Chains A and B, each alone.
Chain A
Amino acid sequence: GAVVSQHPSRVICKSGTSVKIECRSLDFQATTMFWYRQFPKQSLMLMATSNEGSKATYEQGVEKDKFLINHASLTLSTLTVTSAHPEDSSFYICSANRDNANEKLFFGSGTQLSVL
């Protein structure tokens, strides 16, 4: 079946540093990928829609200059948390829809970000 690989699975960083998270579709092309954030004991919240070759579409309340998204190829989207602060500590999850399938999303295993 289709696989979405997300790296790293866990990262600890100091406040003020930037962290890049990668999301790859391993055996299919994905024109569109989605980035979610999940705080403890809460549901997933959509942050942005990543579109290959164009700018990402951010949900209301999500700072586009803080959460930089790059979707440079049909199999890779990256989320960079710039100048991370403790309140950015969260579980970040990406997902992808297989082109020409249009039926379901495949999710990465998530990245646990802890900002000290």
Chain B
Amino acid sequence: DAKTTQPPSMDCAEGRAANLPCNHSTISGNEYVYWYRQIHSQGPQYIIHGLKNNETNEMASLIITEDRKSSTLILPHATLRDTAVYYCIVSPTGANSKLTFGKGITLSVRP
């Protein structure tokens, strides 16, 4: 079973920030928070991951609460191409660390 909970869907206006929440209250000390997204009929795409510090890359920012029980993925300027299912996953790193996908959150970016 997935160890994260996400709202089923949300939408935002193009050009605005999209803040996608995720709860992972049972996260273990060695588990990272990963975010992937899947555009329709494609394989998932890695976005970002973190352990306890906030992270930022060219795609997004990841804000992890101090108790690590929840996190927020921020797409600073959403575009129509960001419409996808976003998966929040907790997993230890390592070559054999398989990812268990939950239902994810469907983000719809409207013009």
A interface bracket (residues with beta carbon within 8 Å of B): 20 to 34
Q: Which of B34, B98, B103 is most buried by chain A, counting CB atoms within 10 A of its CB? A: B98
Query: Does chain A have a CB within 8 A of B41?
Result: yes
Let me know if B98 and A46 touch, CB within 8 A: yes
Nearest B residue to A45, CB-CB:
B101
- State whether the Cβ of A109 lies closer than 8 Å to any Cβ in chain B: yes
Partner of B98, one of A34, A43, A110, A112: A34
**Interface majority SS (helix, strand, loop, mixed), chain B:** loop
* A6 close to B (CB within 8 Å): yes
Residue positions of B touching A, CB distance < 8 A: 2, 34, 36, 38, 41-46, 49, 87, 93-104
On A, residues with C-beta under 8 Å from B are: 4, 6, 31-32, 34, 36, 43-46, 49, 91, 93, 95, 97, 99, 102-110, 112
- Cα A6 to Cα B103 in complex, Å, equals 24
